[in-house]
């Protein structure tokens, strides 16, 4: 890997695209794009003519093929890309976003480390004190919960409220928002307590597009890093760089 060479890292998520620019192992800027805004993504890349472009995607094969054509020369990583992670995961269908989060955890000092990724889904991923990936959990995120309530009932409206909510809603809309937002928060805090009951020397890392909508209790074992997945993609790139 050459010094003074920009590396553009892309995280193609279900609802948005994030890109980070690294220079000499330092993250220098982060940009966000609508998945359909191809022209803005190309214009951004054109600012860095000689940059390496590394992509991790949970989107469809068709979208990924179009993205690769648009960003000529970009390199996709997947779960088969060497990454240095020892894994106890038993399924071949581990998502690349979860893998990147686990690689970040593995390269972070400490005992047992847990990533909480709050986005389209709420994902927990755990790496033990020996750097071994154990697995985690997946449940619906905020938008999926709102959509399910609308799709599977005749009269409940489709909402998108993400701000903190009162406990007792005094209208249908406020009751739905309380159930979704406070439900997600209660689930996350409950899972954290489960982990604390099963592991000592534990550290949590919170990330994801919807993480900013929650205020977690101030504890010394909780860190927020909204660019954690991008950093994991970069670490996989570095592991394979010559």
Annotated active-site positions, please? 97
In which residue are the tokens 């982060």 written?
30
CA-based diameter of the chain, in Å? 60
Other CB atoms within a 10 A radius of the CB of residue 41 amount to 20
Q: Which residues does 13 contact at the CB level (< 8 Å), separation at least 6?
A: 58, 59, 97, 119, 120, 209
C-alpha 192, offset from chain centre = 18
Q: How far apart are CA 101 and CA 79, in angstroms?
A: 12
Spatial strand order of the sheet with 222-224 comes to 86-87, 132-140, 121-127, 112-118, 202-207, 222-224
Dihedrals phi, psi of 136, to nearest 5 degrees:
175, -135
Q: What b-and-e string marks burial along 226-239, b requiring 16 or more CB atoms within 10 Å of the CB?
A: ebbbbbbbbbbbee
Taking the CA atoms of the chain, what radius of gyration do you get in angstroms?
A: 19
């Amino acid at each position: 890997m050459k010094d003074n060479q920009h590396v553009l890292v892309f995280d193609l998520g279900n609802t948005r695209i994030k890109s980070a620019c690294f220079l000499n192992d330092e993250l220098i800027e982060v940009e966000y794009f609508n998945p359909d805004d191809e022209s803005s993504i190309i214009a951004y890349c054109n600012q860095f003519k000689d940059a390496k472009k590394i992509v991790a995607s949970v989107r469809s094969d068709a979208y990924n093929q179009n993205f690769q054509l648009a960003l000529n020369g970009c390199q996709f990583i997947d779960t088969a890309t060497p990454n240095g992670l020892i894994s106890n995961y038993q399924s071949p269908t581990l998502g690349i976003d979860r893998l990147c989060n686990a690689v970040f955890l593995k390269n972070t000092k400490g005992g047992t480390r847990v990533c909480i990724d709050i986005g389209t889904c709420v994902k927990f991923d755990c790496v033990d004190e020996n750097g071994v990936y154990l697995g985690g959990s997946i449940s619906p995120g905020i938008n999926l919960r709102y959509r399910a309530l609308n799709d599977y009932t005749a009269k409940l409206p489709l909402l998108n409220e993400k701000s903190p909510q009162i406990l007792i809603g005094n209208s249908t809309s406020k009751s739905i928002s309380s159930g979704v937002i406070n439900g997600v928060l209660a689930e996350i805090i409950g899972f954290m307590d489960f982990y604390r009951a099963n592991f000592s020397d534990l550290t949590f890392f919170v990330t994801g597009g919807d993480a900013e909508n929650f205020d977690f209790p101030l504890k010394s074992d909780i860190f927020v890093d909204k660019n954690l997945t991008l950093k994991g993609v970069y670490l996989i790139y570095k592991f394979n760089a010559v």
